[in-house]
């Protein structure tokens, strides 16, 4: 893959990752609730979910998803239900007075970063539309599997790296302690935001 095309792809992916949305809210919430380990787990699994959608798209299955209203709606409403579940869970959460411990069994039970990060990416069929539009600018019928793999790895790694940077920033110094002291407020704001996103999906 030509370097200038790859750099263009990198730029678009970075801009896409930087845009705020439910994924960012989830990474922040899981970092605050479960500590850095759960934050990084959410970031990496979200990157894997995005990479999977990219792989589905380059193999042509993404076109089937977009062209099948029933399948698209099924994934879309499943995603809305998951956002609603996360939102209600956040709204019902109580102020956390426990110290963070990455290895604490209690934190592992409270947050499942691997599950949450992957599902919030995979249950978003709009990624299929995004990648169909994006990849059509960089790929053609004669594209090799190496070129496709580079594109898949690029979008997945950039996504995971960005949310890992967010987790790292939240974990530096006493940032988590400060935010943790207001965790109940963060949870309420995050919960309301996720519920509004779920409603937008259903009503759109």
Q: What is the pTM assigned to this prediction?
A: 0.73
| Full domain range(s) for residue 44 | 22-93+104-203
Looking at the domain assignment, is residue 69 inside a domain?
Answer: yes
Contacts of residue 16, defined as CB under 8 A and 6 or more positions apart, other chains included, come to 130
Per the structure, the count of domains in the chain is 1
Looking at the domain assignment, is residue 16 inside a domain?
Answer: no
Looking at the domain assignment, is residue 99 inside a domain?
Answer: no
Task: Find, among 18, 57, 53, 64, the residue nearest to 135 by Cα.
Answer: 57
Looking at the domain assignment, is residue 140 inside a domain?
Answer: yes
Per-residue pLDDT of the chain (204 residues; tens, 9 = 90+): 678 778 888 888 888 787 777 888 889 888 888 888 999 999 999 999 999 988 988 888 777 777 888 887 887 788 788 778 878 877 886 654 444 444 444 444 477 889 999 998 888 877 777 787 777 677 665 778 888 899 899 999 999 999 999 999 888 866 656 655 666 676 777 778 778 877 876 776
Please report the pLDDT score of residue 175 as a whole number: 62
Looking at the domain assignment, is residue 113 inside a domain?
Answer: yes
Please report the pLDDT score of residue 157 as a whole number: 95
Please report the pLDDT score of residue 163 as a whole number: 94
What are the tokens at 10?
A: 């990198």
CA Rg value for the chain: 18
Please report the pLDDT score of residue 167 as a whole number: 92
Looking at the domain assignment, is residue 51 inside a domain?
Answer: yes
Looking at the domain assignment, is residue 48 inside a domain?
Answer: yes
Please report the pLDDT score of residue 99 as a whole number: 40
Neighbours of 165 (CB within 10 A): 12
DSSP state of 95: P
Distance CA 41, CA 38 (A): 5
Looking at the domain assignment, is residue 13 inside a domain?
Answer: no
Please report the pLDDT score of residue 97 as a whole number: 42
């Amino acid at each position: 893959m030509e370097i200038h095309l790859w750099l263009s792809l990198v730029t678009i992916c970075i801009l896409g990752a930087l845009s705020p949305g439910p994924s960012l809210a989830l990474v922040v919430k899981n970092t605050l609730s479960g500590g850095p380990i759960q934050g990084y787990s959410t970031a990496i699994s979200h990157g894997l979910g995005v990479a999977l959608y990219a792989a589905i798209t380059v193999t042509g299955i993404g076109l089937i998803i977009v062209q099948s209203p029933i399948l698209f709606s099924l994934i879309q409403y499943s995603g809305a239900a998951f956002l609603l579940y996360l939102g209600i869970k956040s709204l019902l959460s109580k102020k956390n007075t426990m110290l963070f411990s990455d290895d604490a069994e209690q934190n592992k039970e409270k947050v499942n970063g691997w599950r949450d990060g992957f599902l919030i990416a995979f249950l978003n069929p709009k990624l299929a539309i995004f990648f169909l539009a994006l990849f059509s600018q960089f790929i053609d019928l004669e594209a090799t599997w190496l070129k496709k793999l580079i594109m898949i790895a690029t979008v997945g790694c950039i996504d995971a790296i960005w949310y890992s940077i967010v987790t790292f920033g939240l974990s530096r110094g006493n940032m988590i302690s400060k935010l943790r002291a207001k965790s109940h407020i963060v949870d309420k704001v995050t919960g309301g935001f996720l519920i509004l996103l779920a409603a937008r999906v259903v009503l759109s």
